[in-house]
């Protein structure tokens, strides 16, 4: 029976002939490593000959060994620069805890050993932002000539009504806030440095880490089963 592919170790061991990862990894000639990296460019674990539980020190050691082999200044292979770029991206992702979490979510969604399919950069971009999906009936309606004008004519008076209501509420709330301050029952001001959840969640992150964090969070929310309403007694 043929061995099943392992997303952390690449193709089946009997086919690939490589069973060592991490500190025990064995590397071939520079040209062989260039071809191997290009062949499995989406699977960063295979690129660096490591697993999900490989220590950061072993990942760094493998990165330095491979970097010396495939660096375009030392390797005459015509695609050495491409392999070196893939290697740098793989190490930059797996050596960062936030990016590694996002990459592991990508591995759960995509078959990284398949030649076709979405790359990690494409997956991250598609999951970094919440995608707003228009209902099919509304999309079909908007395709009708003149439908956009009809919607605008309907929404314009509604917008004016909403603005008028907001103005009335603002006028009514001014004396209420004033009375609350006079009576000393106004809510206390927020503590210094307090921010919303989004700001706190991305505090201290770089732009790349924030995008990876958002992609992993949104992918996890998409895979989570829908919550069932509580049972009535």
**If 0-12 CB within 10 Å is exposed, 13-18 middle and 19+ buried, where does residue 22 land?**
middle
Q: How far is CA 40 from CA 48, 89, 94, 214, in A?
A: 10, 13, 15, 26
Tell me, yes or no, whether 91 lies in a domain: yes
Tell me, yes or no, whether 221 lies in a domain: no
- C-alpha 83/C-alpha 20 separation (Å) is 21
- Cβ atoms 59, 95 nearer than 8 A: yes
Q: How far is CA 7 from CA 109, 122, 198, in A?
A: 12, 19, 32
Tell me, yes or no, whether 215 lies in a domain: no
Indicate the number of domains in the chain. 2
Radius of gyration (Cα) for the chain, nearest Å?
Answer: 27
Of residues 133 and 101, the one with the higher pLDDT is 101
Q: What's the token pair of residue 92?
A: 């930059």
Q: 117, 11, 27, 113: which is closest to 68 by C-alpha? A: 27
**For 104-163, what is each residue's pLDDT tens digit?**
998 888 887 777 778 888 888 877 765 566 778 777 877 888 888 888 888 889 999 999
Q: Tell whether the torsion through CA atoms of 12, 13, 18 and 19 is positive or negative.
A: positive
Which residue range is the domain that position 160 belongs to?
A: 136-183
pTM, rounded to two decimals: 0.57
Query: Which one of 70-74, 124-128, 182-186, 205-209 scores highest in mean pLDDT?
Result: 70-74
Q: Do 51 and 140 belong together in one domain? A: no
DSSP 3-state of 114:
coil
Q: Do 23 and 119 belong together in one domain? A: yes
User: What are the strands, taking DSSP E only, across the chain?
Assistant: none
Q: Do 152 and 104 belong together in one domain? A: no
Q: Do 150 and 112 belong together in one domain? A: no
Q: Do 21 and 122 belong together in one domain? A: yes
- Indicate whether 203 pLDDT > 70: no
Mean pLDDT of 174-189: 69
């Amino acid at each position: 029976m043929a061995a099943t592919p392992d997303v952390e170790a690449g193709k089946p061991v009997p086919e690939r002939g490589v069973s060592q990862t991490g500190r025990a990894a064995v590397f071939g000639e520079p040209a062989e490593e260039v071809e191997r990296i290009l062949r499995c460019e989406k699977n960063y674990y295979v690129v660096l000959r490591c697993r999900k539980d490989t220590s950061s020190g072993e990942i760094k050691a493998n990165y330095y060994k491979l970097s010396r082999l495939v660096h375009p200044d030392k390797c005459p292979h015509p695609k050495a620069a491409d392999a070196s770029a893939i290697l740098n991206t793989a190490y930059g992702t797996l050596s960062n805890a936030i990016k590694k979490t996002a990459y592991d979510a990508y591995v759960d969604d995509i078959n990284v050993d398949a030649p076709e399919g979405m790359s990690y950069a494409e997956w991250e971009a598609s999951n970094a932002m919440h995608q707003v999906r228009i209902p099919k009936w509304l999309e079909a309606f908007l395709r009708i000539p003149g439908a956009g004008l009809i919607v605008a004519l309907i929404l314009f008076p509604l917008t004016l009504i909403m603005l008028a209501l907001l103005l009335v509420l603002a006028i009514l709330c001014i004396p209420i806030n004033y009375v609350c301050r006079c009576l000393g029952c106004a809510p206390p001001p927020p503590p210094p440095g307090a921010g919303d959840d989004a700001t706190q969640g991305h505090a201290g992150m770089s732009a790349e880490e924030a995008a990876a964090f958002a992609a992993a969070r949104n992918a996890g929310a998409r895979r989570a089963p829908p919550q069932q309403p509580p049972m009535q007694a």
